[in-house]
Every structure is written in C-alpha cells, then in structure tokens.
C-alpha cells in the first residue's frame, strides 16, 4: 500500500545545506527525519535474496508523474543508474539535493510525455534515497552498514516487481533504464515477460565484463581504504566524519569512465584553475579542480556503503546466468525493444549493445542498436536529450 508520512513523524536531522561550505556529513543518504520532498513509500515485506538470506520489511521509495488510465495500460517504469534515484524530474529543494536527472526526457510534451503516460520511478533496493539500504535502520535498531546483505541485479528487480504489485500494477507499457537501470530492464524482460510490453535498454551491457568489474573494484577499495570508513559503521561516528575522501575518490575514478578523453581535452586542455602555474608549484590544473568539485559534491547526496552495495550488484549482472547463456536469454524476450549505445562509451562499450540488439526478435531498429554519436561518452544517455528522446518516441509509438 502507498503511504507518505507527515513531516513531523520523526525528529529532524541536522544536515548541511546542499552546496554549503564546511565539512560534508558522514553520509549523504536520505535518513528518517529528513524532508520527504516528492517521495512516496511502499512497504513490500520480507524479500528472499538469491544468496538465501531474507531481507526483512523492505521499503521502496518512489516518485510518480502523470495520471494512470482507467485501464492501467499507460504505466512506464523508469529505472535509474548507479548514482541516480527516484527524482527523475523536479527542482532541487528540501529532500532533493539535486534537480531531476532526466528533465529533458520525462515531462509534459517530452519524449516520455506525462500528459499521456503515468510514470513511476523507484529508488533501487540497496540505494540511499529512501529505499531499504545500508543506511536504513536494521531490526536491531542500528544502521545496517556493512552488514547489509549482498544483493544482485535480479534481487533488485524482484524488489521492483514486489513494489509494482503493491501499487496494483500488473503490467508496464514500457520499462526504461540506462546503465545500471538497463541491467534491470533486461532482467524484467527475461524474468517477467508477461508484465512488460516494451523495453528501452540504454547504454547497458548483457553481462558485466572482467574489465568493468576491475574498474569497479578499485573504486570499492578507495572507499574501504578511507580511515573514516570504520568497517562501514560510520553513521554515528563520534567525530561526525564519514569516508567522504574515499567516496569522493571513487566518484572521480568513475567520472573518468563516464566521460571521454575528447571531452576533457577540448573542455580543459592544459588550463589551470588558479593564478599559479601548476608547473611552478601551488597551482592546479582545471581538470583536477573539476573532478574534485564533482567528487566532493557527490558526498553530500550519496552513501559510501550504498555505493559498494550497488557496485557489487552491477558486478553480479549476467543475463545468461542459469539460462543457457546470454544469447539464449535474449531469445526469450518478447517485448518490443529499443537498444541504444554510445559510440564513445568507454565504460559499457558499444559491442555490448550490439550483442543485445542482435539477439532480440522485436527490436525497433533491427539487429543493430541505435548508435548515439557523442563526445560525452557513457553519460550521453543523460545529456543528449534530442537523440535519446527521438529513439524513445519511436519505441513508444508502436
């Protein structure tokens, strides 16, 4: 059942304002007592995980836009990437440290037109913006922290399916997601084909590769190596310090995967940030300051333990696991499909989307993916609104 508690349900937690000077909080997670913003919540009960563990009393936070049709045939599920959340559109403000991450795609008159479609977007299981995750309080009254069980992409989709059922949604007109969200989309199409009419797989792979797992592993180690990580039990640290340096470093590493050499070289070249030449000592190259800014900003809206949990879930992704391989799994997909890849993506390279498209029977673009040509790399699915929107319009028209 859908519920949204009142703002005075629990004591307010003192959190520095987004962008305010001073030390970052120990975690950027949404916590009990914080403003709800546009969030709604659904309790989906206990969730059995692939590992054999049972995660008790799972809660999913979500947001919604548009109106559901009387027949319930206009519902679109939007699934976010690793560092996203349910705030697909809407301004920054109380409860929402940043503005919506897909403002140019979802909304009235846009590609996913909320005058036509009823859009729901949940925060992923293991996340840190309202759904059950490491920063949530466990049954013993203490945050889960590093005790939070290992979850897979399939576990997260099971939670999404339970969420949909709790809302009375039996079938989606479309399930749409990019990057990590695209992994979820593929699992929906294979694992619950009777609940999905269309899918949009944007910049996602059929399985995590050794190279991708390696890139992820060094980010996880950066967080765990921070002296303030305290084995994941930093939420109530006596000094109020969390593993913000490690988390910021992980974010900086990730951004080098998400963007391209072309963009960074053309945008920053060898310029420096201060009046001091870095070669003379004391100054900084502009690209260093850019990475620092985004790393530090990230610590104010994300949780280090969640970053580890979600990254390890992405490492688990293999659509063909237990299904006779990737190609056999893809052959099961009945949904009308869009596969979009980015020519400059150095995180989830275009070869992955080519394999997905070649294995689908109902792709709107045939046996090849829609190829987005962009200097923005992996993040282009979040930036190139016109091209991504045109592809989605074609999918939703059928």
Catalytically active residues, by annotation? 179, 345, 378
CB distance 1 to 166 below 8 Å: yes
First-last CA distance in the chain: 32
In the DSSP assignment, the letter for residue 260 is -
Structure tokens at 80: 């976010």
Do 80 and 86 contact (CB within 8 A), yes or no?
Answer: yes
Work out the number of other CB atoms within 10 angstroms of the CB of residue 272.
17
The three-state DSSP-derived secondary structure of 31-61 is CCCCCCCCCEEEEEEEEECCCCCEEEEEEEE
Give the separation between CA 295 and CA 226, rounded to whole angstroms. Answer: 14
Distance CA(23)–CA(300), nearest Å, equals 10
Please name the residue that has the structure tokens 């919506």.
100
Query: What are the tokens at 348?
Result: 């989830």
Tokens of 56: 């008790």
What DSSP string runs through 88-156?
-SS--BTTBSS--TTTTTEETTSSEETTT-EEEEEPPTT-SSSSSSTTSBPTTSSB-GGGSPP--HHHH
Place of tokens 């859009």: 119
Instruction: Check: CB of residue 24 under 8 Å from CB of residue 3.
Output: no
Long-range CB pairs of 142-146, under 8 A, 24+ apart, other chains included: 143/233, 143/235, 143/236, 144/305, 145/231, 145/232, 145/233, 145/234, 145/235, 145/305, 146/231, 146/232, 146/233, 146/305, 146/308
């Amino acid at each position: 059942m859908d519920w949204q508690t009142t703002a005075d349900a629990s004591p307010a937690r003192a959190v520095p304002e987004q962008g305010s000077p001073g030390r970052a909080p120990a975690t950027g997670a949404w916590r009990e007592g914080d403003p709800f913003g546009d969030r709604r919540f659904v309790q989906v009960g206990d969730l059995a995980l692939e590992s054999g563990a049972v995660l008790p009393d799972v809660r999913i936070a979500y947001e919604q836009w548009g109106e559901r049709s009387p027949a319930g045939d206009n519902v679109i599920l939007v699934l976010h990437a690793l560092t996203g959340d349910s705030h697909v559109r809407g301004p920054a403000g109380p409860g929402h440290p940043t503005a919506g991450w897909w403002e140019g795609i979802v909304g009235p008159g846009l590609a996913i037109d909320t005058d036509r479609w009823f859009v729901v977007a949940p925060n992923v299981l293991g996340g840190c913006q309202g759904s059950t995750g490491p920063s949530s309080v466990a049954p013993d009254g203490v945050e889960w922290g590093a005790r939070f069980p290992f979850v897979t992409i399939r576990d997260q989709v099971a939670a999404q399916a339970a969420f949909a059922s709790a809302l009375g949604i039996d079938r989606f007109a479309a399930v749409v997601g990019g990057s990590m969200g695209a992994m979820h989309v593929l699992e929906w199409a294979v694992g619950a084909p009777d609940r999905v009419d269309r899918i949009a797989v944007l910049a996602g792979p059929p399985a995590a590769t050794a190279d991708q797992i390696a890139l992820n592993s060094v980010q996880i180690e950066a967080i765990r190596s921070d002296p303030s990580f305290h084995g994941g039990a930093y939420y109530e640290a006596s000094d109020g310090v969390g593993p913000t340096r490690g988390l910021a470093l992980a974010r900086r590493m990730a951004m080098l995967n998400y963007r391209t050499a072309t963009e960074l070289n053309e945008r920053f070249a060898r310029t420096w940030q201060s009046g001091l030449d870095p070669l003379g000592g004391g100054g900084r190259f502009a690209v260093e300051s850019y990475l620092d800014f985004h790393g530090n900003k990230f610590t104010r809206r994300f949780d280090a333990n969640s970053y580890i949990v979600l990254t390890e879930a992405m490492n688990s992704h293999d659509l063909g696991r237990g299904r006779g391989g990737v190609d056999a799994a893809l052959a099961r997909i009945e949904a009308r499909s869009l596969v979009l890849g980015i020519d400059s993506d150095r995180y989830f390279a275009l070869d992955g989307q080519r394999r997905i498209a070649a294995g689908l029977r109902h792709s709107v673009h045939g046996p090849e993916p829609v190829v987005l040509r962009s200097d923005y790399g992996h993040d282009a699915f979040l930036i190139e609104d016109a091209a991504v929107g045109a592809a989605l319009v074609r999918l939703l028209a059928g």
